[in-house]
Amino acid sequence: SQQGEEDPQALSIQEGENATMNCSYKTSINNLQWYRQNSGRGLVHLILIRSNEREKHSGRLRVTLDTSKKSSSLLITASRAADTASYFCATDGWDSSYKLIFGSGTRLLVRP
């Protein structure tokens, strides 16, 4: 089953602009992770934020987490054409199974 929704489903921006993607989830979590997937390829882990953290940075990526609203956002600054991909959030619950439940994903297109 899917944990939640991501919005927007699709996003088209110009190179150099910032891209923001949002993720909502339904149950309590241990951590939330963001992944990137190029078309027809495997997943690349971008960043993990724990339930007791509110914000995390990695290069041009900034992730926020609001556990009271059960939501997270991924901001990509100064986007590049190479950032074109699908982005998924995934939640790891407290049941110690380490299962990841993925959101519906955002397809990002960065126009050169």
Partner 1 sequence: GAVVSQHPSWVICKSGTSVKIECRSLDFQATTMFWYRQFPKQSLMLMATSNEGSKATYEQGVEKDKFLINHASLTLSTLTVTSAHPEDSSFYICSARRLAGEEQFFGPGTRLTVL
Kindly list the residues in this chain that would bind partner 1 in the complex (CB under 8 A).
1-2, 31, 33, 35, 40-45, 48, 88, 92, 97-105, 107
Min dist CB 62 to partner 1, Å, is 19
Nearer to partner 1, 33 or 79 (CB): 33
Look at residues 54, 56, 61, 51 and name the one whose alpha carbon lies nearest to residue 108: 61
The tokens describing 13, both together, are: 């921006």
**How far, in Å, CA of 93 to CA of 76, rounded?**
25
Min dist CB 111 to partner 1, Å, is 20
The residues pairing with 23 across neighbouring beta strands, listed in sequence order, are 6, 72
Min dist CB 43 to partner 1, Å, is 4
